[in-house]
Structure 1
Amino acid sequence: MIKNYYILRNSERTGPFTFTEMMQMDIDLDTQLQRESNQKWQNASELPEFNYYFEGKGFYFPTEDNLAGFWWRLLAYAIDSVILTVAIMFFASDLFMEIYKNQQANDTSYDALITRLKLNFILFLTSIIYNALLEATPMRGSIGKRICKLAVVDADGKRLSLPRAFLRNVGKILSSLVFCVGYLNILWDDHRQAWHDYFAKTYVIIRNR
């Protein structure tokens, strides 16, 4: 059955237009549309048949069918952990070597503890910067997420601004508390959000492109 649509422009109802004709128009997320079989006006972003159209424009709407699960996100995290560890080993090899020597000597002194804390801080800070910068680009996520075809978006399917991406990644401190229960929340949450996703109002989705 062919669907026809009406468009509300300048408070006037125009149409009907076929789906093919709609694809040729420059509609945006907030364009008011009405299906011929329904009297209700809706934003174009609310009609699932237009998802591919908006994905072509760079919008990825979080839906029940495309929300990324815990294991895909864990795989992306593992890939990123390898990337970051190798990069930090290259730029901070002296620090890694010092920690290795301390471990070999079973050194539990205050200085050895400080060295380990320095490394942990560098890893955490690098992770925040790395993830936030890439989430604010058209990649919409880290290299690990890109490999796993995942993307971080807001409720409107848009990519994150840089401040919001930083907010999301700083919020991972919350998710890491109490045996990382904030990350495990993905397993039972209806929207598959970790605590830092709640904090920043973001979603991780499986992208088609």
Structure 2
Amino acid sequence: MINSYFILVDGQQTGPFTHDELMDNNLQPDAFVLSPLATEWQQAIDLPEFNEYFVSQGIYQPAKGNYANFGWRLLAYLIDQFIYYGFFAIIGGLIGAIMSLTGGEFGSIFINIEDVLQVVITFSGFFINAFLETTTLQGSLGKLICKLAVVNIHGGRETFLQALGRNFGKILSSLICGLGFLNVAWDSKRQGWHDQLAKTYVIKKRG
């Protein structure tokens, strides 16, 4: 049977299965599969005939051809900053309006409001991005617009803790004049230090 595949389950060979049967049984990207056209076991994510299936599941194999470069990642970051700062500018404006209407009665509460907002924007951004990276969006709004996705080493979604660690790892990447972010420009896998820390990749979706 040309359409016969075998799969390892707990170290035991099972099968044969058709291409459709494997997909119907929720084939995982890290599952070891013996293709009828190969003589060695391979992970399912490495078999081209399953590419469309995995993409439909939000799984994108990290590979040289689809690592998101520095330019795309910078554009996504700038879009995010525009969105976040725009939102918090509205909040700041409302606070200012309240202070004006109350004759500055709450002024002592909102001393150094810009510094407070900066901290709030930064840390809320970490949690918001971590949450978005674990959803079907697989990234921030900026990454969605730029058709980028954050994936784990198997091409799937991160866990929330992994995503949170990645985002807080941006503090490390920001040190030494942002050298950890600039690392994306010359790293062979286009990873920042925070990506390397969390074992994640940012890839460019097809289309």
TM superposition score category, shorter chain reference: 0.7 to 0.9
Instruction: Give the CA deviation at 1:30.
Output: 4.0
Aligned to 2:33, the other structure's residue is in SS state: strand
Instruction: Write the letter of the residue equivalent to 1:142.
Output: S
Per mean C-alpha deviation after superposition, the further-off stretch among 6-15 and 122-131 is 6-15
Instruction: Give the CA deviation at 1:51.
Output: 1.9
1:108 match? none
Q: Superposition pairs for residues 1-209 of structure 1, below 5 Å? A: 4-8=3-7, 11-12=12-13, 14-15=15-16, 21-25=18-22, 26=25, 27-93=27-93, 114-208=112-206
Instruction: Write the letter of the residue equivalent to 1:176.
Output: S
Contact 2:150 2:157 in 1 (8 A): yes
Identity percentage over the alignment?
39
Q: TM-score, normalised by structure 2?
A: 0.80
Per mean C-alpha deviation after superposition, the further-off stretch among 67-76 and 157-166 is 157-166
In the aligned structure 2, how far is the partner of 1:173 from the partner of 1:62?
A: 24
Paired residues, number: 189
Instruction: Write the letter of the residue equivalent to 2:82.
Output: V
Instruction: Give the CA deviation at 1:6.
Output: 2.9
Q: Deviations over 1:81-105 (max 9, x none)?
A: 00000110112226789xxxxxxxx
Instruction: Give the CA deviation at 1:118.
Output: 2.1
In the aligned structure 1, how far is the partner of 2:63 from the partner of 2:96?
A: 43
In the aligned structure 2, how far is the partner of 1:69 from the partner of 1:138?
A: 22
Give the gaps of 5 or more residues in structure 2: 98-110
1:100 match? none
Aligned to 1:205, the other structure's residue is in SS state: strand
Instruction: Write the letter of the residue equivalent to 1:80.
Output: D
In the aligned structure 2, how far is the partner of 1:93 from the partner of 1:38?
A: 63
- Summarize the Cα distance change of 1:55–1:172 in structure 2 as closer, same or farther, 3 Å threshold: same
Instruction: Write the letter of the residue equivalent to 1:63.
Output: A
Aligned to 1:152, the other structure's residue is in SS state: strand
Instruction: Write the letter of the residue equivalent to 1:52.
Output: E
Instruction: Give the CA deviation at 1:174.
Output: 0.8
Instruction: Write the letter of the residue equivalent to 1:33.
Output: V
